[in-house]
């Protein structure tokens, strides 16, 4: 699906909330807690009984991969928000920012790139109905130039869309990095 098709298929929405996640102090605290748990697990492994060692090694393996945070969308299948998420901006469906976003996402796909890495989503747009219920999420990785719907579907977009999204999100107050580290 293209970004224009995504926009056209959006259920009716009342407002949009932008989120920043997988960055900043919340992520640092989460990584610190994981590192502390990793150290404690390593210590426990030294004296663990044989039958417990397998579970501890599995926990260490999971904790070693934890810091990557690749492919982690804003919301879980159960509808919970990622623990690192913070709302940044809110605008209504008939706002000039909504019109700007519509213009960005309905840009024709003339030049697209395939992502060369697994996305680390750091920004998202959440569409809500008038009752405040979430109707759709657009996860955004500006580094990999990757968009994904709440259902996990890749959204193809023109390369210019990512620069425009970066400008919009920065103007709204997102702490968008110029360079990234995987």
Q: Each residue's pLDDT tens digit in the chain (182 positions)?
A: 999 999 999 999 999 999 999 998 888 888 899 899 999 999 999 999 999 999 999 999 888 877 677 788 999 888 899 999 999 999 997 889 999 999 999 999 998 876 667 898 999 999 999 999 999 999 999 998 999 999 999 999 999 999 999 999 999 999 998 655 54
What contacts 162, CB < 8 A, 6 or more positions away?
Answer: 142, 145
Q: What is the pLDDT of residue 115?
A: 63
The answer to whether 43 and 35 have CB atoms below 8 angstroms apart is no
CA dist 90 to 136, 146, 170, Å? 15, 22, 14
How much is the pTM? 0.84
Q: What is the pLDDT of residue 117?
A: 79
d(CA 177, CA 23) in angstroms, rounded, equals 10
How many CB atoms within 10 Å of residue 27? Answer: 17
Q: What is the pLDDT of residue 182?
A: 46
């Amino acid at each position: 699906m293209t970004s224009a098709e995504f926009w056209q298929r959006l259920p009716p929405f009342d407002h949009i909330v932008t989120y920043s996640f997988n960055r900043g102090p919340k992520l640092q605290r989460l990584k610190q807690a994981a590192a502390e748990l990793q150290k404690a697990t390593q210590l426990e492994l030294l004296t663990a009984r044989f039958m417990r060692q397998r579970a501890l090694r599995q926990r260490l393996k999971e904790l070693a991969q934890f810091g990557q945070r690749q492919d982690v969308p804003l919301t879980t299948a159960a509808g919970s928000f990622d623990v690192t998420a913070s709302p940044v901006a809110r605008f209504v469906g008939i706002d000039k920012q909504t019109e700007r976003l519509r213009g960005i996402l309905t840009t024709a796909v003339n030049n697209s790139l395939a992502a060369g890495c697994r996305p680390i989503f750091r920004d998202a747009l959440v569409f809500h109905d008038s009752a405040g219920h979430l109707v759709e999420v657009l996860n955004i990785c500006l580094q990999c130039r990757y968009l994904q719907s709440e259902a996990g579907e890749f959204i193809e977009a023109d390369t210019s869309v990512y620069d425009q999204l970066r400008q919009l999100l920065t103007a709204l107050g997102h702490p968008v990095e110029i360079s990234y580290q995987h």
